[in-house]
């Protein structure tokens, strides 16, 4: 690593383009890229650094560590999760759950259960790679292997991306600028094309379109949700997407799920909506802290889904009429073919 410290930053930047960004983040502007990190750091004024709470030793050691981590992030972008295995533990009364579940990319799993039944606990177990050390005693494995020690808590191993109704964009930036910033932090090479793809995709999910220049905080509820889904599908590093009740989000839910599946995500969705529940390949029924049933969505249920979707479409038509300021004075019995 001393070698790195004695290599001109212009050369380092060829392999690690984010190296300039590191110096910027510690308030150092590089006038001459032919200088080496050592030379740049040595030239800094000790007193000024101390004032700002920096030290030369720390800047050097953090610089090396940051490059290492960023390189790791880049390589985990190509990391693949083939499977996530959940081995049952015990419910709140200590009764064994006796289930083993293997989730694969493209799976959609719904989680159903009453308030306080333990839905969030199950998702938290997945998130921290439980090893019989959470209140449920469950074990979670990735690609059939147990992750241990420090690996469990490393950011690049973060398995779960979350989408929920309570989430909002809070940064004061335009859509395009922010998505570009996200892409940059993921070390994506072609940022421009990625941003464009995310925005196009989000616009397909939401009703009203927005552009690159729209301020994030000006997006409507449905537009933000659509952008969050598109961004999570295409830019998040996490292979699992956890969706918490997006029933009323004003986005095309079917298209949203299709997108996540296409991007090889494992989708876990807690929902009370029968249509969403049937869109899943299976669902876990949780009661008293334990997984009581694993139900595969079968042909019989899927036949029902088609009818539900017809009804949903009709409701959608009524909503459109409402929005257009029309009166809803049609024969409902006929309309719904009851």
Ligand X SMILES: Nc1ncnc2c1ncn2[C@@H]1O[C@H](COP(=O)(O)OP(=O)(O)OP(=O)(O)O)[C@@H](O)[C@H]1O
> Which residues bind to Mg ion, rule: CB under 5 A?
120
Whole-number minimum distance, CB 259 to other proteins, in Å?
A: 14
Whole-number minimum distance, CB 154 to ligand X, in Å?
A: 24
Q: Which residues contact 220 (CB under 8 A, 6 or more apart)?
A: 206, 208, 250
The only residue of 35, 71, 181, 197 in contact with other proteins, by rule CB under 8 A: 181
Whole-number minimum distance, CB 120 to Mg ion, in Å?
A: 3
- Using DSSP's 3-state secondary structure scheme, residue 186 falls into coil
Whole-number minimum distance, CB 67 to Mg ion, in Å?
A: 36
- Cβ atoms within 10 A of the Cβ of 46, count? 10
- Using DSSP's 3-state secondary structure scheme, residue 109 falls into strand
The only residue of 83, 185, 288, 309 in contact with other proteins, by rule CB under 8 A: 185
- Cβ atoms within 10 A of the Cβ of 106, count? 14
* Residue 116 binding result from ligand X, Mg ion, other proteins, none, given CB thresholds of 5 to 8 Å by partner type: ligand X
Q: Are 272 and 247 in contact (CB under 8 A)?
A: yes
Residues 7-26 that bind other proteins (CB under 8 A): 21-22, 25
Whole-number minimum distance, CB 194 to other proteins, in Å?
A: 12
Q: Is 65 in the site for other proteins (CB under 8 A)?
A: yes
Say how far apart CA 94 and CA 98 lie, in whole Å.
Answer: 12
Longest dimension (CA), the chain: 82
* Residue 142 binding result from ligand X, other proteins, Mg ion, none, given CB thresholds of 5 to 8 Å by partner type: none
* Residue 290 binding result from other proteins, ligand X, Mg ion, none, given CB thresholds of 5 to 8 Å by partner type: ligand X
Looking at 31-39, 79-87, 173-181, 253-261, which segment touches other proteins (CB under 8 A)?
A: 173-181
Say how far apart CA 176 and CA 219 lie, in whole Å.
Answer: 13
Q: Tokens 């979707």 map to which residue? A: 309
The contact set with ligand X (CB under 6 A) reads 90-92, 113, 115-121, 135-136, 289-290
Count the residues of the shown chain that bind other proteins, applying the rule CB under 8 A.
Answer: 55
Say how far apart CA 39 and CA 7 lie, in whole Å.
Answer: 10
Query: Nearest to residue 23, comparing CAs of 80, 68, 52, 63?
Result: 63
DSSP-derived secondary structure letter, 149? G
* Residue 128 binding result from other proteins, Mg ion, ligand X, none, given CB thresholds of 5 to 8 Å by partner type: other proteins
Task: Rank residues 8 and 135 by Cβ distance to ligand X and give the closer one.
Answer: 135
Q: Which residues are registered as beta bridge partners of 140?
A: 86
Q: Is 150 in the site for other proteins (CB under 8 A)?
A: yes
Binding mask 99-138 for other proteins (x = CB under 8 A): ---------------------x---x--xx----xx----
Q: Is 68 in the site for other proteins (CB under 8 A)?
A: yes
**Closest residue to Mg ion, Cβ-based?**
120
The only residue of 84, 202, 228, 256 in contact with other proteins, by rule CB under 8 A: 228
Per-position DSSP letters for 240-307, written without gaps between them: EEEEE--TTSSS-HHHHHHHHHHTT-EEEEE---HHHHHHSSEEEEEETTEEEEEEE--HHHHHHHHH
């Amino acid at each position: 690593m001393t070698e790195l410290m004695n290599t001109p930053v212009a050369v380092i930047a060829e392999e690690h383009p984010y190296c300039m960004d590191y110096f910027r983040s510690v308030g150092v502007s590089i006038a001459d890229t032919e200088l080496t990190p050592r030379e740049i750091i040595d030239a800094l004024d000790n007193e000024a650094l101390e004032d700002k709470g920096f030290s030369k030793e720390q800047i050097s050691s953090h610089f090396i560590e940051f490059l290492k981590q960023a390189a790791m992030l880049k390589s985990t972008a190509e990391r693949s999760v083939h499977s996530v295995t959940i081995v049952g533990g015990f419910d709140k009364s200590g009764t064994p759950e006796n289930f083993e579940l293997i989730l694969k990319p493209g799976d959609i799993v719904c989680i159903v259960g009453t308030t306080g039944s333990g839905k969030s606990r199950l998702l938290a177990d997945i998130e921290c790679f439980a090893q019989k050390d959470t209140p449920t005693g469950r074990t979670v494995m990735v690609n059939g292997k147990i992750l241990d020690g420090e690996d469990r808590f490393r950011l690049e191993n973060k398995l779960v991306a979350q989408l929920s109704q309570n989430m909002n964009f809070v940064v004061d930036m335009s859509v395009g600028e922010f998505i570009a910033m996200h892409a940059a932090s993921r070390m994506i090479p072609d940022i421009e094309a990625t941003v464009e793809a995310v925005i196009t995709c989000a616009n397909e999910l939401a009703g009203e379109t927005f552009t690159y220049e729209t301020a994030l905080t000006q997006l409507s509820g449905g537009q933000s949700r659509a952008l969050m889904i598109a961004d999570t599908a295409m830019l998040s590093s996490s292979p699992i997407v956890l969706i918490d009740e997006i029933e009323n989000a004003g986005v095309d839910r079917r298209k949203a799920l299709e997108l996540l599946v296409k991007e090889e995500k494992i989708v876990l969705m807690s929902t009370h909506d029968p249509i969403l529940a049937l869109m899943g390949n299976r669902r876990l029924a949780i009661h008293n802290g334990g997984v009581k049933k694993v139900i595969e969505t079968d042909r019989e249920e899927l036949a029902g889904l088609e009818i539900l979707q017809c009804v949903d479409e009709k409701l959608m038509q009524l909503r459109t009429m409402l929005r257009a300021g029309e009166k809803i004075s049609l024969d409902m019995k006929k309309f719904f073919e009851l």
